Amino acid sequence: MYGLFRTGEETISTQQSSADTAIPPPAGAPGRAVGGEPTDVAGIDVSIVIVSFNTRSLLEACLRSLTIATGSARTEVIVVDNASSDGSAELVAERFPGVRLLRSPDNAGFGRACNLAAMHARGRYLLFLNPDTLARPGLVDALLDVARRRPDAGIYGGRTLTVAGAVDPKSCWALPSLWSTACFAFGLSTLFRRSRLFDPESIGRWERDSEREVGMVTGCLLMIRRGLWEELSGFDERYFMYGEDADLNIRARRLGARPMITPGAVITHVVGASASAPERLVMVLRGKVTLARRHRQPIGAALTTRLLLTGTALRAMGAEILGAVRGDRGTGAAWIHAWRQRKVWRTGWAER
């Protein structure tokens, strides 16, 4: 990617690919010590990375919440603004002078923006946090505690709550399989929500209230050991948004990582603030197709796509019928939109 990223008064010319980067690390950035661990020359435990796109008010609340979330940990905060038009970058520059701000001339997507931020981060761990989240007290210390006790995990997450205070199970998932995708296709995961058999990706009715290994930690709250991040070359930039977190966890597990959830690390999450529900669903499906193509044999990838099309078609049809019966054409609009946009997402994210 060619473009300009600005941090403070500094202007950085960038060229980025999914394999490597032409941007040299800034002076004082950590290198690798024996065994692949970084040398912590800056004395920073955790670099908190937030990618923002038109989330001004939510971003402000998120940054303010971090003042009570870091505890005794030594942290830095880096915000990458993906060419917001709502004054998000100006807000950070004016009200949060201690935050490092990187401005993108265009919307670089989530994974690519995270990769760029990570190159300028100095912490021993990288913590990716959505701008539509509110960090609870002790968040960072809880993540560091489990990371120090369980270095084999490599990737760490926590508990997410809804705005109403209920547990939101989306902080982690079991990895997708052909069986779980078939359950989606034929509506079993909807009829038997959070069933260990028919909705296996949900990990059953576990309330995320205990320390536990999981298939994947989601990107709204994900901390990773920097040495592992560098070994993986960060997020795969083929994913513009959605799917890159699952891909990272899959590749990390192949290197021996065992992603974990700790209940002491808690955030409140307003889901999908930077995209409407119909647009978000199309991107989610596009990410699922890309994930299958990257990690399954051609036959398995083709079957996954067919199952996703089947599940989307059934839900769109049901939404149309229910809408006609109730006289509410807005019912199930996201699924109807996703079905109409199937030619867009069935091919996955294209190479960039």
**In terms of C-beta density within 10 A (0-12 exposed, 13-18 middle, 19 or more buried), how is residue 275 classed?**
middle
Set out the domains of the chain in order of their start, with CATH numbers.
2-269 (3.90.550.10), 277-345 (no CATH)
Q: What pLDDT does 324 receive? A: 77
- In this structure, are strands 10-15 and 260-269 parallel, antiparallel, or unpaired? unpaired
Q: Which mean pLDDT values do the consecutive 10-residue runs of the chain (352 residues) have?
A: 37 33 32 38 88 95 94 95 96 97 95 96 97 96 97 97 94 97 97 97 96 97 97 96 97 98 95 73 97 97 98 94 75 90 94 60
What is the predicted pLDDT for the residue at 28? Answer: 35
Relative to beta strand 260-269, strand 212-213 is antiparallel
The Cα–Cα gap between 2 and 6 comes to 13
- Helices of type H across the chain: 56-65, 88-95, 110-119, 139-149, 178-185, 188-191, 226-232, 244-254, 277-295, 298-326, 333-340, 342-345
Counting Cα atoms < 13 Å in the Cβ hemisphere of 206 gives 24
67: Cα separation from own chain's centroid: 22
Token pair of 21 as six digits: 């980067």
